[in-house]
Structure 1
């Protein structure tokens, strides 16, 4: 097992390479998942499991339509993606920006363990998600349903 001191003794390049392994692994996993959703159409029945919340309650969760939205984005159709799940479509660039910040901080040797996000942003996100969840399930918010 290689310790942090052993890696640092090899030089800053080895330490930097090790530091960016986690962000790179997340990028590879997200890229593979996106490619899979792009190749395997979620509009075809039987390819993906049904949303458990939708199956139990008959109501849409904040993620319902998200796979189909990602599929539409992969195929260059942002209008359809916005119609399926605007919350997911808006969150994708936010997730990319947060990932970029994490990767940059890792490359610079700075930690990004939970302290990089102000709690107000987290609470705002949760509040918006709950409002979206509720509004898409009431009659006047029907346009937000997938």
Structure 2
């Protein structure tokens, strides 16, 4: 039997593969740093319960006017989310939970694009920006109306 010979790799192929792997790792530094920062923030909020008074400041808008801003209940929501209590997280601030999940998806897309050597681009058009702003405004108004009590933190 004759042994099949493998074609020889072109000279410098190993170096090129090493450079490509290095480029992928360099592309992952920023997403890894963002993950570490967000993970540290969630770990802190998970450890220091915002439901106990005195740990975090009161929302200035709520303190002055008694109105809930779109972020009111966000820390309590993050605390419940970090503990795996999705129902309580949604009750505290449904918009924040949607934001947590949306940012997780966005981060995952960022990592996949970095591994493939492609830049991360977020090109939101006018329609998307107005839609997000309108959703936030409607959420804020409804949670402050008498029938929107189910959206109170």
Band the TM-score falls in, shorter-chain normalisation? 0.7 to 0.9
Secondary structure at the residue paired with 2:36? helix
- Give the superposition deviation at 1:118: 4.4
Uncovered stretches (5+) of structure 2, i.e. residues with no partner: 1-15
| Structure whose CA Rg is larger | 2
Find the counterpart in structure 2 of residue 16 from structure 1.
24
CA distance in 1, matches of 2:113, 2:126: 19
Equivalent residues in 2 for 1:1-146, closer than 5 Å: 11-115=19-123, 117-146=124-153
CA distance in 2, matches of 1:100, 1:118: 21
TM-score, with normalisation over the residues of structure 2? 0.81
CA distance in 1, matches of 2:46, 2:148: 28
- Give the superposition deviation at 1:11: 1.0
- Give the superposition deviation at 1:35: 0.8
CA distance in 2, matches of 1:15, 1:87: 37
Secondary structure at the residue paired with 2:70? coil
CA distance in 1, matches of 2:72, 2:64: 13
In structure 2, the CA distance between the partners of 1:34 and 1:130, relative to structure 1 (3 Å rule), is: same
Deviates more, 1:23-32 or 1:99-108: 99-108
Q: Deviations over 1:81-127 (max 9, x none)?
A: 11111111122211110111112112222122433x44433322221
CA distance in 1, matches of 2:108, 2:98: 16
Count of aligned pairs between the two proteins: 137
TM-score, with normalisation over the residues of structure 1? 0.84
CA distance in 2, matches of 1:126, 1:107: 32
Q: Deviations over 1:27-53 (max 9, x none)?
A: 111111111111000011111111122
Uncovered stretches (5+) of structure 1, i.e. residues with no partner: 1-7
CA distance in 1, matches of 2:130, 2:119: 22
